[in-house]
């Protein structure tokens, strides 16, 4: 019999037997039923002030005992709890950790910024990564952060060298972000679950499409775009680089020809008129949320568990948007317009 370690060495994918997750799937569905509803979000949006909106949030057992002004901490801890539940349900299956690498990346970028731009950046670090934030601070100083994927560890060295030679924090951010996607792609393909692989490959494509549009809008050159794009998606990066010098209309036409064209149409149709890209960014987010429905169509396996994580991430994003709007007293209509589709 070939063990898991032998399969990895032989380049064989690790099995994710759906029958091993019967109980976990049922529990994930139960947890999904507790996600904030449209009605409760509307109540928060139309609340008189931040405190009242937070009190409504408390009825969903989120942020109880926390000051409303500390809602960011409350939301982060809610997501920490969700990822902890997933690890318990799946016997610490490391496949789900790939969705936490972006938080490791954020923490790494905050530490690098603290050394070049602002020491206060350390206060923005999160507990959501796979590696403790204290270990990242210590590890970057000592060039050793155990527990990170090799892609991210190598990127730290490259980002530090870039900052030392060019003093370019933006370039360092790009290096880390690309390494996160690279690690997600590799690890997702170490398992024999096509749905996981599809989610990650689509995420890479959507991020590349965003980069294409943002770089064009910002007047950057093709070399800048080349450095932004990540490999591993379904769309060849050379196609995006080739169309980059063309008009925004031709860029939109290329995107329409991909598997994402129909889903992104609302955003593509206003690229020439939407100064803020708000609609485009929203439809990109909404596309990734379609995987929640797809995951929930699977009766049992790791898919419903991933669906729960995607729903929970979206719930926290939606709540954060509402609470931030309450802080600056934005009108309800503006908040509703910006909320992602699956919040409704």
Contact 41, 318 (CB under 8 A): yes
pLDDT along the chain (344 residues), means of 10: 39 75 91 88 90 92 89 91 91 86 94 80 88 89 83 91 80 93 94 91 96 93 94 96 94 94 91 81 90 86 91 92 88 81 59
CA 173 to chain centroid, in Å, comes to 15
Contact 139, 145 (CB under 8 A): yes
- Write the CA distances from 344 to 52, 90, 163, 203, 272, integer angstroms: 21, 29, 42, 22, 28
* pLDDT at residue 11, as a whole number: 58
State the Cα–Cα distance between residues 107 and 105, nearest whole angstrom: 5
Contact 19, 309 (CB under 8 A): no
* pLDDT at residue 130, as a whole number: 93
State the Cα–Cα distance between residues 203 and 102, nearest whole angstrom: 12
Can you list the pairs that 61-66 forms with residues at least 24 positions away whose Cβ atoms lie under 8 Å? 62/36, 62/319
State the Cα–Cα distance between residues 232 and 135, nearest whole angstrom: 29
Indicate the pTM of the whole model. 0.89
Angle (CA) 277-281-285 rounded to 5° is 170
DSSP H helices, the chain, are: 4-10, 22-32, 38-45, 50-58, 71-89, 101-116, 133-142, 150-166, 169-188, 194-217, 222-228, 237-243, 248-256, 261-268, 278-296, 303-327, 332-338
State the Cα–Cα distance between residues 248 and 244, nearest whole angstrom: 8
Contact 25, 301 (CB under 8 A): yes
User: What's the pLDDT tens digit per position in 145-198?
Assistant: 888 999 999 999 898 888 877 777 788 899 999 999 999 999 999 988 899 999
With b meaning 16 or more CB within 10 Å and e meaning fewer, what string describes 165-204? eeeebeebbbbbbbbbbbbbbebbbbbebebbbebbbbbb
Domain boundaries, the chain: 94-191
């Amino acid at each position: 019999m070939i063990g898991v370690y032998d399969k990895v060495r032989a380049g064989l994918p690790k099995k994710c037997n759906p029958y091993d997750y019967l109980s976990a799937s049922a529990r994930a569905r139960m947890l999904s039923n507790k996600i904030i509803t449209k009605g409760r979000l509307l109540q928060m949006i139309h609340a008189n002030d931040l405190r009242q909106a937070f009190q409504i949030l408390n009825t969903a057992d989120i942020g109880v005992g926390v000051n409303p002004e500390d809602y960011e901490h409350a939301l982060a801890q809610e997501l920490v709890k969700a990822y902890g539940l997933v690890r318990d349900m799946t016997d610490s299956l490391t496949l789900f950790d790939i969705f936490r690498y972006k938080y490791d990346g954020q923490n790494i970028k905050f530490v690098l910024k603290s050394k070049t731009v602002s020491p206060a950046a350390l206060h923005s670090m999160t507990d959501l990564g796979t590696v403790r934030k204290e270990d990242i601070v210590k590890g970057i100083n000592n060039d050793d952060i155990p527990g990170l994927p090799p892609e991210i560890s190598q990127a730290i060295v490259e980002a530090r060298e870039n900052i030392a030679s060019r003093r370019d924090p933006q370039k360092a951010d790009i290096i880390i972000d690309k390494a996160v996607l690279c690690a997600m792609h590799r690890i997702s393909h170490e398992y024999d679950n096509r749905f996981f692989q599809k989610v990650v490959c689509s995420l890479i494509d959507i991020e590349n499409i965003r980069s294409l549009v943002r770089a064009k809008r910002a007047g950057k050159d093709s070399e800048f775009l080349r450095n932004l794009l990540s490999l591993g998606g379904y769309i060849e990066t050379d196609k995006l680089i080739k169309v980059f010098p063309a008009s925004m209309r031709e860029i939109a036409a290329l995107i329409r020809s991909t598997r994402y064209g129909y889903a992104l149409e609302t955003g593509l149709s206003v690229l020439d008129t939407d100064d803020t890209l708000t609609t485009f960014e929203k439809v990109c987010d909404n596309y990734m949320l379609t995987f929640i429905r797809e995951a929930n169509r699977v009766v049992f396996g790791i898919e419903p568990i991933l669906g729960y994580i995607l729903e929970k991430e979206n719930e926290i994003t939606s709540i954060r948007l509402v609470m931030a709007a309450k802080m600056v007293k934005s009108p309800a209509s503006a908040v509703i317009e910006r909320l992602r589709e699956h919040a409704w």
